[in-house]
Structure 1
Amino acid sequence: MTRAAVLEGLGAMVPPRIVSNDEIGELVGSDDTWIRTRTGIHQRHWAEPGTVTGDLAIAAGERAMRSAGGGKVDLVILATSTPNQPMPATAPEIAHRLGLGTPWAYDLSAACTGWVYAMANAVGAISSGLIDRALVIGADIWSTRLNHDDRASAIIFGDGAGAAVLRAGDPDEPGAFQGFDLGSDGGHHDLALLAVGGSRQRSYRQPPSEQDNLLAMRGKELFSHAVERMSSSSAKLLDRIGWTVDDVDWFAGHQANSRILYAISDLLKVERERVLLHIDRVGNTSAASIPLALTHAAAAGTFGVGDRILSTAFGVGLNWGSTALTWPDIKVDGVLGD
């Protein structure tokens, strides 16, 4: 029998501190109405000083493991663009602090597409028989890297983490992943950039400027790329796995902007009632975005066993990816801190 990867547990975490549109508006010279109209965001969560990405990842991972009934895992992947430090990777530390022994563990950097890329890695490892069980975490803390002089990007981002446990199983059982579509286009790598810390910046042997420490993003261009790439990737995946748009019960896209999500759903002809929205509560949480939205919806009782879910994401780099699964019979708690 063909071996498949099956979703066994979910967990998520956002920091307790809520940053309203009014509060961020004072920092960037905007207001609640402007932010809501252009992004769909009502609030976001920011980490307090001393909280690192690994802390959020561990909290989400603990809840995912509890949702899955505990046990051991053979692989831990952390999808993040904001690791605890450039080196060493944060994933081995997470595995250690979770008491998971000595699994294969590594970080994966693909910005907002990190979750889908990491899931593809874990699903491939399980399907090939290399491992039996994996913990995949998407986590980012962008609040410390925002340029408040760039209103378009500073209002968007929040901090958070989402995690999933995958196990080997049957391709026909609820929870099985059905396939992936992945891609990249490095010709547009400069549309969003965090310059500090890499060999390119350090090769000049000059101290980085303050701006180098902050995210630089060309939002209007990214918007059009995001709509095009996520819609085309979703269509390719549906064709590959033999689903029609009518087969999709829920569209769980990357929570970057509500206008992007609705533009994609309109292109795919997915009714807006089937689009998951969590961005209003947490903002754009990068690699944590999709698992946060799934966890929130699952805890609210949105999904039924066997529901067909299409997910798609787009990140700077550029990269993009889509995946699909049927929903399993699992118990999921709400988003911790939300």
Structure 2
Amino acid sequence: MTLRAVVRGVGHFLPTRVVENAEFEASLDTSDEWIRSRSGIERRHFAAEGETTSDLAIHAAKAALTDAGMEPEALDAIIVATSTPDYTFPSVGTMVQAGIGADRAFAYDVQAVCAGFVFALANANALILSGQAERVMVVGAETFSRIMDWTDRGTCVLFGDGAGALILEAARGTGTNADRGILSTDLNSDGRQRDILYVDGGVSTTGTAGKLRMQGNAVFRQAVEKLTETAHKALDKVGFSGGDVDWLVPHQANLRIISATAARMQVPMDHVVLTVQDHGNTSAASIPLALSVGKARGQIKPGDLIVTEAIGGGLTWGAVVLRW
């Protein structure tokens, strides 16, 4: 028998404020048509004044516990993927632990920008397979609206705030690719590509949070190539190809990137969970948000083969293959 990390519950949370594309027309040389045609984004959510990343994460965590029918005391560990923490320290993970009353769980953060949830999911899988934890909550939560340059139309219209959470639990499988749970992971980094996507501030440089900077065309080229490659590598590890995938749940950054990646993987768009139009790019929160929304819509069902993939600043990129 083989140990697997099986999904037991998902949940998400979005701030109340919805920002339509048209709101940017008053302050930027842009339009709803310009934003939609280049990104597929129609609207996004922004956190209210005083509403923090940990606030969003706690709401999503509670929703995941409810979906799993699980009490917080059952959790052994909490991993939060975020690039926009409330503080330099302590971690958002510890604030989630306190906020949901998971007194037994150890907690920490993972920072791999938009690929953060994939990296955190791989971390959680490793904790379960090594026997260090039996039940792990993985959260992606961001308030990217706090690091936007509102004069840069190439970036500020793309991002949104939100959180998603997923609970994994150890279960016995047969050791075949028919098992439920995480079947394979693939993680990658290339620090030489730092300058195409970064934030121009930090504790040991400017002493400020800084603002997001991006070379959009360069990121697009890297994204399509690397996302396709990592998805194929993860699928190959367990004897699958794109034609076997029930649902591709990609990082929701840009509809053109998602469409191009799906085409290269030979996954039809009606087998892709899309939320980018309503959420924008929520960085590490985008995949768990999409998983939770996909389940709520009735798209994702038990037994479905799912591929999640993401790329973020660093560069960091990776994929996870799991059976729901």
Name the TM-score, length of structure 2 as normaliser. 0.95
Unaligned runs of 5+ in 2: none
Residue 287 of structure 1 aligns with which residue? 284
Instruction: Give distance in 2, aligned partners of 1:306 and 1:25.
Output: 45
2: CA distance, partners of 1:190 / 1:303: 37
**1:197 CA drift (Å):** 2.6
| Cα separation, 1, equivalents of 2:315 and 2:210 | 20
Residue in 1 that maps onto 2:181: 176
Aligned residue number for residue 3 of structure 1: 3
Aligned residue number for residue 320 of structure 2: 323
Aligned equivalent of 1:13: 13
Moved over 3 A (4+): 171-175
Question: Aligned residue for 1:237?
Answer: 234
1:88 equivalent in structure 2: 90
- Equivalent position amino acid for 1:141 in 2: T
C-alpha displacement at 1:175, in angstroms?
Answer: 4.0
Matched, 1:221 2:218: yes
Residue 35 of structure 2 aligns with which residue?
A: 35
CA contact (8 A) 1:189 1:317 kept: yes
Match of 1:145 in 2: 147
Q: Specify the SS of the correspondent of 2:206.
A: helix
Contact 2:114–2:310 (CA under 8 A) maintained in structure 1: yes
Distance in 2 of aligned mates of 1:22 and 1:270: 32
Partner Cα distance (2:243, 2:225) in 1 = 21
Cα distance in 2, alignment partners of residues 7 and 239 from structure 1:
22
Report the AA paired with residue 65 of structure 1: L
Report the 3-state secondary structure (helix = DSSP H, G, I; strand = E; otherwise coil) of the residue aligned with 2:249: strand
CA distance in 1, matches of 2:138, 2:167: 6
How does the TM-score come out when normalised to structure 1?
0.92
SS at match of 1:294: helix
| Aligned partner of residue 311 in structure 1, secondary structure | strand
Which structure shows the higher strand fraction?
Answer: 2
SS in 2 for 1:213: coil
Superposition deviation, residue 145 in structure 1: 1.3
Given residue 44 of structure 1, which amino acid in structure 2 is its aligned partner? R
Q: What is the CA distance between 1:28 and its match in structure 2?
A: 2.4
State the partner residue of 1:194: 199
Equivalent residue, structure 1, for 2:57? 57
2:129 aligned residue (124, 127, 130): 127
Partner of 2:99: 97
CA RMSD of aligned residues (A): 1.3
Range moving further from structure 2, 15-24 or 186-195: 186-195
| 1:100-129 deviation per Cα after TM superposition (whole angstroms, max 9, x unaligned) | 104211011000000000000001100111
Query: What is the one-letter code of the residue matched to 1:98?
Result: I
Deviations 1:186-211 (A, max 9, x none): 00112122232331335xxxxx6xxx
Shift of 1:25: 3.0
Contact 2:75/2:104 (CA < 8 Å) preserved in 1? no
- Report Cα offsets for 1:3-42 as digits up to 9, x if no partner: 1100000000010100000002323221101111110011
Paired residue for 1:275, among 266, 272, 275? 272
1:160-194 Cα shifts (integer Å, max 9, x gaps): 00000110012357641111011000001121222
The runs of 5 or more residues in structure 1 that have no matched partner are: 203-207, 328-338
Residue 170 of structure 1 contacts residue 176 of structure 1 at CA under 8 Å; is this kept in 2? no
Work out the percentage of aligned pairs sharing the same amino acid: 40
Count of aligned residue pairs for this structure pair = 319
CA deviation map 1:242-296 (0-9, x unaligned)? 1122210111110000000000011111112111110001100000101111111
> AA paired with 1:5?
A
| Distance in structure 2 (CA, Å) of the matches to 1:32 and 1:163 | 31
